[in-house]
Amino acid sequence: MSVEQELVGKWRELPLDKQQQVLEFVEFLHVKTVNPQLLTSASKPLLGERLRQIRAQIVASGEPLLTQDGIEKEIASRRGGLQESDT
C-alpha cells in the first residue's frame, strides 16, 4: 500500500470535522513548503477571510458560537482541565 493510499484510507475513517482539520493542516504544509512568503504579514487578510468562512460554517450548522466564558472554559480544559474554585 502506498503512503497516499494509507493516508486516504485513514482520512476516510475520520469524522468530517477531523477530515477538515487534516485538510487545513495539509494546506498549511503545502503553503509553508511551496510558497513560504504567503505566511508573512501579507497573509493576514487571508487568515481573516478564512476565519470569517469558518464562522459562517459554524453559524450555518446551527451550532451556537462560544461566549467569552465558553472560550475561557475551552482554553482551560485544553490546558489541563477546568479547576473549579471553592468561592
The residue range of the domain holding 31 is 3-64
**Does the pLDDT value for residue 41 go beyond 90?**
no
Q: What is residue 86's predicted lDDT score, i.e. its pLDDT?
A: 47
Is residue 82 assigned to a domain?
A: no
Is residue 14 assigned to a domain?
A: yes
Is residue 83 assigned to a domain?
A: no
Total tally of structural domains belonging to the chain: 1
Round to the nearest angstrom and report the end-to-end CA distance of the chain.
Answer: 58
Let me know if 16 is exposed, middle or buried by CB neighbors in 10 A (0-12, 13-18, 19+). exposed
Is residue 71 assigned to a domain?
A: no
Is residue 76 assigned to a domain?
A: no
Is residue 24 assigned to a domain?
A: yes
Quickly state the pLDDT bin for 12 (edges 50, 70, 90): very high
pLDDT 10s digits, 44-62: 677 888 888 888 888 888 8
Quickly state the pLDDT bin for 38 (edges 50, 70, 90): low
Structural contact between residues 76 and 83, judged by C-beta atoms closer than 8 angstroms: yes
Mean pLDDT for the chain overall: 82
Is residue 59 assigned to a domain?
A: yes
